[in-house]
Amino acid sequence: MTKTVSDSIITDRRGALAAAAGIGAGLMAPPVLAKPTAKAPAIHTGGDCSTPHSAIVPTRYGKVRGYVSDGVFTFKGVPYGDTTAGANRWLRPQPPKAWEGEYPALAYGANCPQTLHSFRAIEHTFIQQWTDGFLGEDMLKLNIWTGSLSGAKPVMVYLHGGGFSFGSSYELASHDGAQMARHHDVVQVSVNHRLNVLGFLDLAEFGGEAYADSVNVSMLDLIFALEWVRDNIRAFGGDPDRVTIYGQSGGGSKVTTLMGMPAAKGLFHRAIVQSGGGGNIPSAEQSRDFSRQVLRELGVAQGDMAALQKMEWQRLFEAGNTVATRINGPMRPGVLQPGGSASPTPRVGWAPTMDMRNITCRSFHDVAPPAARDIPVIIGNVSEEGTSLGRNPNEAEWRAQLAEALGGAKADALIAAMKKAHPEKAIRTLSYGVGGLSGRNNVNRMVKLRHDAGGAPAYQYLFQWQTPILDGIPGAWHTAELAFCFDNTKICDQATGNTPDAQAIARKMAGAWAAFAHTGKPDQAGLAWGPSDPVHCQTMVFDTRCRMENDPEGDVRRILLT
């Protein structure tokens, strides 16, 4: 069955302030409902733009028409799956219905319905340059940037952050893929998919065998998108045999989860994990019990899938948040949460589940997954993972916070060591850096798992360039590196200042990411980068002077391990 292009155009446009960066693999967002706005994402922000016939590309489902901007072919909102609304809720992703004519791939698609963080500080919105999108359940769309439609360039597929509850492929200005296509000879792809209650509610008992995969359909969407890349990317100048998946925060957790999924094997060939990954996901029984309680909270009759499929998403999500808080306790914003070490206790809620059907291991938590043994991986984080510009503690307040979490003696030792290591940083910035140290411990834990298991190498990095914006207080905050690994310091000048130093670091970092996509090694001219092992913790430090260093901040980070 085919549909016309006019049937494909989305008309329901609701805006949402994009999610806070600061909960590395955060399983739950606070219950603040997104409010409708009249805004929709801009179609284009660059110059020298045209929509020539050369930007019409065939896919398995029909032709898509993009545009060319400053030499880059751009396709936004390309369907890789059918709508997930109504009768398709909680089912495995389905192929998009074929269409006649040319699909206008000129604007980003819908974001998964989601609740969003409220910010205490407008400064965070400023440095991130968050953008409004629109919400809808027809959200299985991807975006492509390529310098040409010929050849066989490596493909880089970016998975967005926001835990597994919120976020989108275009929420941050840094996500724009044009520069990677323009200057680094790759095909850049980004993906939207199901999240939260729409992606992780176990309905197998409630709805029957058809819903046996409902607890992990969010991750199955990503596999479906990678299958679309495998089957269609040649027409966009991409090489399906050189696919890199990468993601930041929750996106990093999506990467490590995919690395452990048998069905994803062969769909990607390198992986990059940024400020996340290795989460302690719940068991099938834990998620099943969670879902039973959610359904009781909703008061729906056993087997009444029609009622669930018609129910407003907000009501579903609120019920899930209520149950998750009852089981887990409230999410407390704390100094060790963002990018922190993997939790010893799973938090049930909106996250993947080890169902032994689609996900068979706690990838990079318990084990470096055998399915990804031959996949080289880059793993790293930023130095101020805990930046939250709504927090401005003095030293006494900071000590009290640390003492509550760590005990007084360890708090004193940590503060003294951090002040000695970085006397140039304000107390406020140092307080944000504790999350970075915790994140470093998580990075080294994952590197050790990979090293001990053998196979392809792991490369480690630390991004610690300090922004000059807002008097330097944010430091290298959670998501700061995205403007650099996407080579987007210019369009992210509210975060980077687009200074000469920032531009130089971006060329090196984006160049390393692209080199890795091309060859499986991040080496490039003038920047030698070797693998990491758990003894020496060899690390590429991205700063004003990019360099290899053995275990930077090692003495300080190990205080958290004692």
- Residues marked as catalytic: 249, 385, 478
- In angstroms, the Cα distances linking 35 to 13, 119, 166, 173, 528 are 11, 15, 14, 22, 48
CB 131 within 8 A of CB 176: no
Angle at 546 between CA 544 and CA 549, to 5 degrees: 125
- In sequence order, the β-bridge partners of residue 67 are 74
541 closest CA partner among 436, 450, 468, 452: 436
262 closest CA partner among 357, 350, 181: 357
DSSP E strand boundaries for 20-175: 49-50, 56-59, 62-65, 67-69, 72-79, 98-100, 102-104, 141-146, 153-159
85 closest CA partner among 319, 317, 310, 315: 310
Phi-psi region of 86 (alpha: psi -120 to 50; beta: other; left: phi over 0): left
136 closest CA partner among 193, 97, 95: 193
317 closest CA partner among 113, 88, 20, 118: 113
Alpha helices (H) along 185-302: 196-200, 204-207, 217-232, 250-259, 284-298
- In sequence order, the β-bridge partners of residue 50 are 68
- In angstroms, the Cα distances linking 440 to 345, 346, 385, 541, 560 are 20, 20, 10, 12, 10
174 closest CA partner among 154, 186, 190: 190
Phi-psi region of 129 (alpha: psi -120 to 50; beta: other; left: phi over 0): left
What length is written for the chain? 562
- In sequence order, the β-bridge partners of residue 103 are 64
Measured CA to CA, the distance from residue 79 to residue 97 in angstroms comes to 9
Tokens of 83: 């709508």
- In sequence order, the β-bridge partners of residue 62 are 59
Element housing 406 (H / E): helix 395-406
Instruction: Determine the distance from the C-alpha atom of residue 365 to the mean position of all C-alpha atoms in its chain, rounded to a whole number.
Output: 18
Measured CA to CA, the distance from residue 372 to residue 78 in angstroms comes to 28
Backbone angles phi, psi at 317, to 5 degrees: -70, -40
Alpha helices (H) along 424-467: 427-453
Grouping H, G, I as helix, E, B as strand and the rest as coil, residue 188 is strand
Neighbours of 234 (CB within 10 A): 17
Tokens of 260: 């452990």
